Amino acid sequence: MAVPLYEAKADLFRALGHPVRIRVLELLSERDHAVHELLAEIPTEASSLSQQLAVLRRTGLVRQQRLRGEVVYSIVVPQTRDLLLAARMVLREVLADRAELERELDPGASPSSPPVGSAPAGGPRAGVTQ
């Protein structure tokens, strides 16, 4: 039986659900990296990096090959970079919305619109037909 698309997407996002894995993908989106290069860029233990790389390999996002005695990792799907950039854009929007809400909640800020729950001019339900 085939896995529903939404479940496959959830599995993919679970595979992305660790900061080390995200950082690995960011670095590999720039260029292939040997394991020692990844270790130099990511503040984690070698054993932890190895575990995270194994998760990315199992999901098919990265591959490894031995070159000149080194294990080198690369991105399998180039669109992974687009996914990471999209995540950055989503975060930017979410944080902008959050900052706007914080400004509205700040008691010293001048309100740009009536507070939530306040009645419009003309009574509590002015302009509303029943």
Which of 3.30.420.40, 2.70.98.10, 1.10.10.10, 3.90.25.10 would CATH assign to domain 5-75?
A: 1.10.10.10
What dihedral do alpha carbons 30, 65, 15, 39 form, nearest 10°?
A: -60
> What span, in angstroms and rounded, lies between the C-alpha atoms of 33 and 27?
8
Q: What is the mean pLDDT of residues 74-100?
A: 93
Going from the C-alpha of 105 to that of each of 24, 85, 94, 119, 125, the distances in angstroms are: 38, 30, 16, 18, 24
pLDDT reported for residue 33: 98
- Tell me if residue 127 falls in helix, strand or coil: coil
Q: Is the pLDDT of residue 112 over 80?
A: no
| The pTM of the whole model exceeds 0.75 | no
> What span, in angstroms and rounded, lies between the C-alpha atoms of 43 and 40?
7
Q: What is the mean pLDDT of residues 24-43?
A: 97
**Residue 65 neighbours by CB under 8 Å, 6+ apart:** 71, 72, 74
Q: What percent of the chain has pLDDT over 90?
A: 70
> What span, in angstroms and rounded, lies between the C-alpha atoms of 15 and 10?
9
Q: 27: closest CA among 52, 59, 58, 10?
A: 52
Q: Quick check: 98 and 106 in contact, CB under 8 A?
A: no
Q: Is the pLDDT of residue 16 over 60?
A: yes
Q: What is the mean pLDDT of residues 6-14?
A: 93
pLDDT reported for residue 114: 53
Q: What is the mean pLDDT of residues 77-81?
A: 94
pLDDT reported for residue 130: 32
H or E element, residue 67:
strand 62-67
